[in-house]
Amino acid sequence: MSIQITPLTGSVGASVEGVNLNEPIDKPTFDVLHRAFLEHGVLVYRKQYLQPAAHVAFAGLWGNPAQNNPLSPSVPGFPGLIQVTKIPKETASTEAWHSDSIYTPVPPKISILSAVVVPRGGDTMWCNQYQSYDRLSPTLQQMIQGLRARFEGLRLARMRGAGEVPSAVHPIVRTHPETGRKALYVGHPDTAHSIEGMTLAESRPLLDFLYEHSTTPDNVYRHMWQQGDVVMWDNRCTMHYAVHDYGEAERVLNRITLEGDTPR
């Protein structure tokens, strides 16, 4: 069976047809997926109904599983496989544009979600952070080159009721270690706290602008989940946003994240 890669928007995301992720993936197939992943930032595989063991095996082709927070519930028997479930809207840290765990020193490079229970609604959106960088004026590109921001896990700490807020400093323009392309590395105002060496009053408008600029509709793919979908994304060159419009309805996604390297 031949693999088909079809772009989903003019900016980010592609769908993959002709692979069964519940079966072993050979090297030529992986190479096609890898190339498509680097090009499109997000890959969507429909109707996979990915089994936990196959999820772990597929993720292993891409890298090493990241250390999970011990508080996150995992799928019984699969310690690396986290269940994303039952997030009340008031405290949902995922309902904001973000790159996963940006407030840690070495954030995960890839996240892979598999939809188990899907409510009406509960879409996820992704944006292309290469494009966010590329479409800045050369003058602003130059101005922000080399700037570093402090990122905080404020929403996560709130969600968990934890007193300690994790934080890390990263460049706001990062170079993707595999493609060599520059991408804007920012996040929601709760997360992107301030730019090193600037006052809050100076940082805020710049970080707010870069956030707004990154997340305009022409830079976004919105995924309407169906049971059995698998979506994987590159945290080094995309951000994502989990829309919470499903009230108390059940929503379960299995998730694995893969260790990244220090953003540079």
Residue 257's closest CA among 230, 237, 233?
233
When binding is defined by CB under 6 A, the residue of 11, 99, 124, 131 that contacts ligand OGA is: 124
CB of 113 to ligand OGA, least distance (A): 6
What is the distance of C-alpha 39 from the center of its chain?
A: 15
102 or 149: whose CB is closer to ligand OGA? 102
Residue 124 binds: one of ligand OGA, Mn ion, none (C-beta under 5 to 8 A by kind): ligand OGA
Burial 112-150 (b: 16+ CB within 10 A, else e): bbbbbebeeebebbbbbbbbbbeebeeeeeeebeebebb
Q: Tokens for 68, please give them.
A: 């999970």
Tell me which residues in 74-103 interact with Mn ion (CB under 5 A).
Answer: 100
100 or 152: whose CB is closer to ligand OGA? 100
Contacts of 41 (CB under 8 A, 6+ apart): 12, 13, 126, 128, 130, 233, 234, 237, 238
Residue 84 interacts with ligand OGA (CB under 6 A): yes or no: yes
Residue 109 interacts with ligand OGA (CB under 6 A): yes or no: no
Residue 240 interacts with ligand OGA (CB under 6 A): yes or no: yes
Residue 255 binds: one of Mn ion, ligand OGA, none (C-beta under 5 to 8 A by kind): ligand OGA
DSSP symbol at 189: T
CB of 100 to Mn ion, least distance (A): 5
100 or 229: whose CB is closer to Mn ion? 100
> What's the rounded Cα separation, in Å, for the pair 98 and 183?
14
Residue 114 binds: one of ligand OGA, Mn ion, none (C-beta under 5 to 8 A by kind): none
What is the distance of C-alpha 52 from the center of its chain?
A: 20
When binding is defined by CB under 6 A, the residue of 43, 50, 242, 256 that contacts ligand OGA is: 242
Beta bridge partner(s), residue 110: 234, 258
When binding is defined by CB under 6 A, the residue of 210, 253, 256, 258 that contacts ligand OGA is: 253
Residue 132 binds: one of ligand OGA, Mn ion, none (C-beta under 5 to 8 A by kind): none
Count CB-CB contacts under 10 A for residue 13: 24
24 or 189: whose CB is closer to ligand OGA? 189
